[in-house]
Structure 1
Amino acid sequence: MPPFVNGYIRFVDAVNYRVGRAVMYGIFVMVAILLWSSISKAFFLPSLWTLEAAQFAMVAYYILGGPYSIQLDANVRMDLFYGSWSVRKKAWFDVFTIFFLIFFLGVLLYGAYDSTSYAIQYGERSPSAWRPYMWPIKVVMCIGFSLMLLQAVSELLKDIARIRGEDI
């Protein structure tokens, strides 16, 4: 593969590795929010913000952790036939199917960008009692979809290299 392709793969993998390793500690943020929710309901006045804050934390956890999951090949696939295939046959199948993922992520990114620009322009707020601004979580979603799209392209390039018999 050309040097710029290897550089792209190394760069995207490094960014998504670091983001994924940092975001995996987001589970503790969610636990802390939900723990505070339980404590405040039992001993104090119930907090208005805990449920929605936990949902926002979970969205960030899943969306930003997705590219890391793809990179580690920890995604779920039907392994009835795939597991017994050769590395090259798996790469051919992945090259074919990754275009569906890239299309899907492109549509998601387009919709997320449109929704984010609307939220920023009009100061969109959640309809809950807490009424937080929606743009921060929508920006996180745009970043996550972008990183996932970059990682999907990286995986496509790795599969093409496997088909060609090259090692990256």
Structure 2
Amino acid sequence: MPNIDFILPHWLYWGALIVFPLVAMVMSRRSRTTGYSLPIGYLVLVTGGILGLHRLYLRNMLGLIFIPIFFVILFANGQGRDAREVESQAANVVASAERVIDRLEPKVAGADAKIEKLRSDLAEAEEGTFAYIRAERTLEKAEADKVADTERLAAAQADLEAAQPDLVAATGQRDRWANVAYYAFLVLCALVAVDALLLPGLVRKAQERADQQDAHASPAEIAIDAVETEEVKHDMDHIGTGWTGAIDRLSYYAGEFVAYWAVIAVFAYYFEVMARYVFNSPTIWVHEGMFLMFGMQYLIAGAYAAMTEAHVRVDVFYAAWSPMRKALVDLFTSIFFFIFAGTLLVTGWIFAMDATVVDEVSFSEWQIAYWPFKWAIVVGAVLLILQGIAKLARDLMTVRNAMQGA
């Protein structure tokens, strides 16, 4: 299988985080249309064609043909990884044995001549002298080294003889499984290429089937579709009027903007899975980029969660209270909220300024700048404080109206 040596450019990463949500927000506000779309069909073909998702999108069961071939690729790559591990181990044994043999063969071959010379030096030395004792010890060491080196050389030669067949077999097995994966991938590419030409006709036929089903739709199914359409507008009910409504809309649009980042994560992790398990080319930037992206999403969406009251709250007693009592309790607990949000703003500002001054980057090969992510802490804190101010104003209004009504 070919390798994918692709590292996402920083400009493309930030461009996707900015442009994609804007396009998605515009498209979500268009009038809803039913049926199948040829552009979406080609999008699914490009992103998930080797899984046959484009045919499954069109409810064409021939898309199931792609899945077994895809699993052949996964199985072949798995077997290839196992063979590569065996090959690596055998190659290490061969390389280590060859190093030992290259080093010891000359040493063992010259050991006899060295020992004969040492014996001659020992015979010429006067017995009992320091020179005699030194020559005797040197001779004993040379003889012991010869025995040890001979044993190590024999062991290395045995290891080399045993590992070479394993290395050849593992290399052949790895190549065979690589060929299986490669040809299966070519089959999928051929099927995708054919479907790229057939897709307009497939979309047309799928639309004809959908039109026939809509003509026979029951009133209950039509009612369900209407309910699903109304649920889209539910979060807009939390938006107030006046200047507090402006803050609510800012929180709403900020939350909606970052919500579409989850769709980007789907594409990114899909690429990672394909690169890792199909092309044996795992990436670093996918996990790092999505980890940082979700961190920004968590921070910026905090104001949206506060506006829609989506944060976790123990409301065993709170839910049954009157609006007046809820407003009073919220006014008291807002003290702790603003302490938290203010601390988040101050510390976030310090972190962001430090990262900007030193131009802090990640330690991975991607080396993306960290300062935009740390400025997201500041943005999230500002949005959260603004939303807290809007909530505080509404609580004060509730208390004032209740007191005037009393």
What do the CA deviations read for 1:12-67 (whole angstroms, capped 9, x no partner)? Answer: 11211111122211211122222222111112311110111111111122111111
* Structure 1 residue runs without a partner (length 5+): 1-5
Q: Which has the higher contact order (CA 8 A, sep 6+)?
A: 1
**What's the counterpart of residue 41 of structure 1?**
276
Corresponding residue for 1:55?
291
Cα deviations by residue, 1:92-139 (Å, 9 ceiling, x for unpaired): 111111111111111111111111111110011123342211011112
User: What's the counterpart of residue 335 of structure 2?
Assistant: 99
CA distance in 1, matches of 2:264, 2:338: 30
Query: Which sits farther off after the overlay, 23-32 or 79-88?
Result: 23-32
Aligned residues: 161
- Determine which structure has the larger helix proportion and give its number: 2
Structure-1-length-normalised TM-score: 0.89
8 Å CA contact 2:344, 2:377 repeated in 1: no
Asked if the contact 1:12/1:150 (under 8 Å) is kept, the reply is: yes
Letter in 1 for 2:341: L
2:396: which partner in 1?
A: 160
Counterpart CA distance in 1 for 2:285 and 2:374 is 18
Match of 1:144 in 2: 380
Note if 1:87 corresponds to 2:331.
no
Which structure is larger by alpha-carbon Rg, 1 or 2?
A: 2
Q: Aligned ranges for residues 7-26 of structure 1 at < 5 Å?
A: 7-26=242-261
One-letter amino acid matched to 1:98:
S
- CA shift for structure 1 position 164: 1.1
Question: Match for 1:22: what amino acid?
Answer: F
Instruction: For 1:130 and 1:101, locate their aligned partners in 2 and report how far apart those are by CA, in whole Å.
Output: 37
Whether contact under 8 Å (1:95, 1:159) holds in the other structure is yes
- Give distance in 1, aligned partners of 2:282 and 2:378: 32
Alignment-derived partner of residue 3 in structure 1? none
Q: CA deviation at 1:8?
A: 3.1
Q: Identity rate of aligned residues, in percent? A: 29
After superposition, where does 1:54-133 map in structure 2 within 5 Å? 54-133=290-369
Give unpaired runs (5+ residues) of structure 2: 1-240
Tell me the C-alpha RMSD between the 2 structures: 1.5
C-alpha distance in 1, partners of 2:349/2:313? 29
Correspondence for 2:157:
none
Give, in angstroms, the shift of residue 75 of structure 1: 1.6
CA distance in 1, matches of 2:336, 2:272: 40
Deviation at 1:83, TM superposition (A): 0.9
**1:102 and 1:153 in contact (8 A); partners too:** no
SS in 2 for 1:126: coil
* Structure 1 letter corresponding to 2:265: M
Aligned residues of 1:29 and 1:57 also touching (Cα < 8 A): no
C-alpha contact (below 8 Å) 1:63/1:145 kept by paired residues:
yes
Instruction: Give the conservation status (yes or no) of the 8 Å contact 2:292–2:373.
Output: yes
Distance 2:328 2:365 in 1: 51
Further displaced range: 35-44 or 101-110: 35-44
**Residue identity opposite 2:380 in structure 1:** G
Show the counterpart of 2:183: none
